[in-house]
Structure 1
Amino acid sequence: MAEPTIDILAIGNAIVDVIAPAADAFVTDEGMARGDMTLIDAARATDLYARMGPGREVSGGSAANTLAGAAAMGAACAFVGQVADDQLGEVYVHDLRAQGVACEVAPRGADVPTGRCLILVTPDGQRTMNTYLGAAQYLPREAVDEATVASARVLLLEGYLWDPAEPREAMRRAVGFARAAGRQVALGVSAVFCILGHKADFDAMIDAGDIDILFANEEELAALTGEAGFEAGIAALRARVPLLVVTRGADGAVALRGDERAEVAAEPVARVVDTTGAGDLFSAGFLTGLVRDRPLGECLTMGAVAAAEIISHYGARPEADLKALVAARLG
């Protein structure tokens, strides 16, 4: 088997993020639950977009955010996802490539538009997301190439994309290729609603040994294990996953691998501006450290540094030099 040429290959939602500040009253009047992610249809997406304030548009989606962060830290990254043959589809691919991420996406017809996530950021930095999946939910299994999967050290699966049937089969196909090639498979469960809808599938993959690295936050850990207590949740899951990584927001993060346990505090931030992409960038830093064979504690620190940078400004793209920040922190 040839040596990997890609550090991280991710399969995820190809969604253009539209990020704009919003007053708390606007979020409430729109009937949204602050901090939640809600799936919306095309009509709602058009209506809400028209009434949002000025914002910025970037290639988003959880997996793509992680890849952009990892690429900024020097990792070789590639993305598999579905866009439409429309303006936002062109914007998506161009923007991701500009971040240094290989993105050989074959667009589908414009009958279903490219997906977009309308993100409202309230004054406290909390983000409320309204997602129209569009073309992203029609990623065909044929889009997953065996040679590409085998060329990557780590295959990263985005939990959000597990919901639609077509991309779910594409990801199953990718897992099979990765297992055959002896590569690692990472799963970001993405959200509690993903777990509630697909817990049987996630449990089956974990128990079959198909998941080598699992990313979750505290709420997701509880949903996966049924344990309300943090330590009880870890105890219930750590023996089932070779590498478990749990983020705790302001309380830092924990990683467990076999008998090894590492913890890190959250990096200090002068002001939290926008939490969009915090978990995604944490995964970026952690995985970049992992593919460089850094100690577990250093992987966590790299994740914490990347997450702290991203919440200090709007959007899920680094604005500071992540390599320099990590070097200053770890030497």
Structure 2
Amino acid sequence: MAETRFDVLTIGNAIVDVIAPIEEGFLSREGLTEGIMHLVDAERSAYLYDRMPADKRQISGGSAGNTAAGVASLGGRASFIGKVADDNLGNVFADDLKRLGVHYGVSRLSNGPATARSMILLSPDGERTMNTYLGACHQLTTSDIKEAEIGAATVIYMEGFLWDPTEAKKAFVTAAHYAHKHERAVSFTLSDPFCVNRYREEFLDLIRSKTVDIVFGNIEELKALYQADFHGAVQAIAKDAEMAAITMGAEGAMVISDGEIITVPAYPVENVVDVTGAGDLFASGFLLAYARQRDLRTALQAGCLAASEVISHIGARPVLDLQQLAIENGVAI
């Protein structure tokens, strides 16, 4: 087994989030459905970017990138693999990870699509409407997956959002192969019911073939995966997966492992501002605790605590020091 350099290595879409509050009527004027993630092309992306309010914030994001940022904030050693272009937003992304202490060594894309961006429109009630241009992040290939880097991480984590491009799928499976070769755990998030509905059979095959060891999802994703009610879906994934960590919103979270189900309540949040990144940060806490061989109840608590911080403000990355927050709440990661 290679020397352990990272607690958690995440693989996913490298996206810069462009976040702005909008006034009533903006969505209907632009023909957008509230609360939905819309995939847009380069032209539509540029159009919406120009029409967003001037006070927009640009923060590097992407589901797996957010998870890596959360691991670093919790005091863990994190690495991220994802593709950006050699452009201004690519610089924003790489500089953000460096500032956070997340290792990022993927080569930049030149002479190709621009760095991906997700324009997140926040309605007055906190609902988010996302318009995502995937650009360079869909150019990830097996050449970006280095065995030495994968083998140096206690657990790797991959996002279902990356399951669209054929080359990225190959990269995903290659990473899992390297991880298992070095006796490392492989985890995977279902990402979104939209993803699950497109790739249900392939996701089930990843789980049943033991390509992945730990599955992350929320109630709606799990129900979509098994086309069953929540109880039936829990029973089904208990048979298929070695371990499944399921978030339940305000009800907390559960882990299913070796026929046992453990649940913990959510941490109270006085004012839910923006739910972007809640699942990503749950994975941060759970995975770091798992990598450090803490018990599963502690892993759930760490996940719920990290998620509670990120939904209390705009943006999908923590603004408080999560390591200090864990200490204050007696969560021994």
User: How would you bin the TM-score normalised by the shorter chain?
Assistant: over 0.9
Q: Which residue of 2 aligns with 1:212?
A: 213
Conserved? CA contact 2:84–2:108, under 8 Å: yes
Q: Which residue of 1 aligns with 2:39?
A: 39
Q: Which residue of 1 aligns with 2:69?
A: 68
Distance 1:175 1:292 in 2: 20
Distance 1:31 1:302 in 2: 39
Q: Please list the CA deviations of residues 38-77 of structure 1 after superposition, one character each: whole Å capped at 9, or x if unmatched.
A: 1110111011111111211111100000000111001111
Q: Does 1:247 align with 2:254?
A: no
Distance 2:64 2:78 in 1: 11
Q: Which residue of 1 aligns with 2:150?
A: 149
Q: Which amino acid aligns with 2:140?
A: L
Q: Which amino acid aligns with 1:170?
A: A
Q: Which residue of 2 aligns with 1:5?
A: 5
Q: Which residue of 2 aligns with 1:159?
A: 160
Q: Which residue of 2 aligns with 1:55?
A: 56
Q: Please list the CA deviations of residues 169-227 of structure 1 after superposition, one character each: whole Å capped at 9, or x if unmatched.
A: 11111111112111111001111121122122111111111111100111100111110
1:290 is displaced (CA, Å) by 1.0
1:2 is displaced (CA, Å) by 3.2
Distance 1:29 1:187 in 2: 37
Q: Which residue of 2 aligns with 1:168?
A: 169
Q: Does 1:236 align with 2:236?
A: yes
Q: Which amino acid aligns with 1:71?
A: A
Distance 2:137 2:112 in 1: 13
Q: Does 1:193 align with 2:194?
A: yes
Q: Normalized against structure 2, the TM-score is what?
A: 0.96
1:25 is displaced (CA, Å) by 2.4
Listed as ranges, the gaps of 5+ residues in structure 2 are none
Q: Normalized against structure 1, the TM-score is what?
A: 0.97
Distance 1:120 1:307 in 2: 20
1:23 is displaced (CA, Å) by 2.8
Conserved? CA contact 2:255–2:263, under 8 Å: yes
Conserved? CA contact 1:157–1:188, under 8 Å: yes
Q: Does 1:280 align with 2:280?
A: yes
SS of 1:216's partner is strand
Conserved? CA contact 2:79–2:102, under 8 Å: yes
Q: Which amino acid aligns with 2:231?
A: E
Distance 2:179 2:321 in 1: 32
Conserved? CA contact 2:7–2:291, under 8 Å: yes
Q: Which amino acid aligns with 2:84?
A: V
Q: Please list the CA deviations of residues 233-273 of structure 1 after superposition, one character each: whole Å capped at 9, or x if unmatched.
A: 10011121111011111121111111322111121111111
Q: Does 1:131 align with 2:132?
A: yes
Q: Please list the CA deviations of residues 68-110 of structure 1 after superposition, one character each: whole Å capped at 9, or x if unmatched.
A: 0111001111111111111111111111111110001211114
Distance 2:69 2:60 in 1: 9
Conserved? CA contact 1:272–1:313, under 8 Å: yes
Q: Does 1:323 align with 2:323?
A: yes
Distance 1:95 1:116 in 2: 14
Q: Which moved more, 1:25-34 or 1:165-174?
A: 25-34
1:159 is displaced (CA, Å) by 0.7
CA RMSD of aligned residues (A): 1.2
Q: Which amino acid aligns with 1:237?
A: I
SS of 1:101's partner is coil
SS of 2:25's partner is helix
Runs of 4+ deviating beyond 3 Å: none
Distance 2:281 2:303 in 1: 7
Change (3 A) 1:211 1:24: farther
SS of 1:211's partner is coil
Q: Which amino acid aligns with 2:51?
A: R
Q: Which residue of 1 aligns with 2:226?
A: 225
Distance 1:65 1:224 in 2: 24
Listed as ranges, the gaps of 5+ residues in structure 1 are none
Distance 1:13 1:296 in 2: 28
Distance 1:65 1:39 in 2: 20
Distance 2:220 2:33 in 1: 16
Distance 2:214 2:36 in 1: 25
Distance 1:23 1:253 in 2: 34
Conserved? CA contact 2:119–2:130, under 8 Å: yes
Distance 1:214 1:245 in 2: 6
SS of 2:117's partner is strand
Q: Which amino acid aligns with 2:265?
A: A
Q: Which residue of 2 aligns with 1:95?
A: 96
